[in-house]
Amino acid sequence: MMILHGSAGSPFVSRVCMQAHAKGLKFELSRAALGTPEFQRMNPLRKIPVLEHDGFVLPESLVICEYLEDAFPTPSLLGATPEARARVRLVVRTVDLYCGGVMSLLRATNDPSLKIDAAAERAGLDKGLDALEVFLAGDGFAASEALSLADCALVPWLFYATMLTKQGDDALTRRPKLARYVDFIEGQELTRRIWGEMDEAYRAFRARWKAGQVAANNG
């Protein structure tokens, strides 16, 4: 039995979902109650996702993805050679360490009360996207001829990054390799599935957030 604790609105949860779908693994997505003692026993860092697999409990999305590759090696989403696996991991690492500014910039556009250092967030994001422009394979999938964990990291992140694009941001469109990747990957059936699941979760979150804002203002 495999249970993934978290929400599909999280890009870190959705990367594991995408990997599981690509490998044909059956799992249950269970909404996590971060503040409960039960969840804290699974992950004292109080972060999602957390995987439960036949009694084995594991937090941290990247560690979970690596575990699933070890536990279910076919089909491999890491690549057949050391060089291929290194390219996949390089893209994943770049997304995780240098592209998180998308979330801050997007939140700031949707919530004027949120104060961020927009210039610093933009500079950090540009650094990460410039690196991706170099590291991406160039055409087709992110790091190899087939779908890999690099795509599983990029696709959920792009769900939010493309929201900025729709608001007139050119961070994706002015980088040719990255723009080609977006055009390619958004046409993939698995991408549409993941984005659909994320959109449903995101809309539910926005509805709860707006209801909370109304309640706070009325209070």
Q: Where along the chain do its domains lie?
A: 2-71, 82-202
Tens of pLDDT, residue by residue over 108-146, are 887 777 889 989 999 999 999 999 999 999 899 999 899
207 pLDDT above the threshold of 90: no
213 pLDDT above the threshold of 80: no
Tens of pLDDT, residue by residue over 142-167, are 998 999 999 999 999 999 999 999 99
Q: Are 152 and 6 in contact (CB under 8 A)?
A: no
Residue 210: predicted pLDDT:
77
| 25, 107, 174 from 213: Cα distances, Å | 39, 15, 36
Please name the residues in contact with 106: beta carbons below 8 A apart, sequence gap of 6 or more.
160, 163, 164
Cα 165 to chain centroid distance, Å, stands at 17
**Helix count (H) and strand count (E) of the chain?**
9, 4
Average pLDDT over residues 169-191: 97
Thinking of the domain 2-71, which architecture would CATH place it in? 3-Layer(aba) Sandwich (3.40)
Assign domain 82-202 to a CATH class.
Answer: mainly alpha
